[in-house]
Structure 1
Amino acid sequence: MSEDPQRRPRRETVTYATALGDGPVPRPRPHHAPARSEISEQTTLGHTYVRSLMRSQLRAALTGLGALVLLVGSLPLLLALPAPEAVVWGVLGVGVHPVVWAVARWYVRRAERNERDFTVLVER
């Protein structure tokens, strides 16, 4: 049973695998990113990463606190001005809450952004 060389399927050597013909197959990501292992192993570099996150969170907290002190802390000066009682109660009852809410919202968004940036740094 000799086969005709013309009928034999042509052999091909695969030298570069592709995913569905779209291009190279992406390499699997390492199981632990280097920064994550630095943090979990508590190395000096890992300590620096965590300290950086803590510093940025502290900076955001102090900025929010400073804004509250300036805005809400100045209320006694504002209320010392001669004004009708209805204006005083309006400022205290209605005017303070949106300011506190806006500062709190800014702080939460800033803290979440700091954490998201840190996560991107660690998972890179």
Structure 2
Amino acid sequence: MLFATKKEYVNYFQKEIDRLPREKDTLEDYLEKQVERLNQLIEEISKETFWEVIPQILGIDAKLGLLVDLSKYEEFSDNDIIRIIESDYKNYFKELFGYDLSMETKNSIVFNVC
């Protein structure tokens, strides 16, 4: 799915969390905090800050992707999901692109997540 606006992007993740057949207050709070940080980072983008801000935005995107992926597993508690996200998000795109964690990646901004 492609997003034309930030609103569409955020709504996608909110709808995915809303669909969960579980208590999800902790995950909704986590999503809200990530969206707040995303909004802050978007406000900070300029020619001077681009290379500093974009890796952080990619990090949030990875966290939200993991949030949707992991929240489908009922055996994980909300706290487990958040713990896994925070420890693994920097490798999300590497794995998404089919790289083994030990492999070197191509030079791309996508792999410069922070």
TM-score for both structures, normalised by structure 2: 0.37
Higher relative contact order (CA 8 A, sep 6+): 1
TM-score for both structures, normalised by structure 1: 0.34
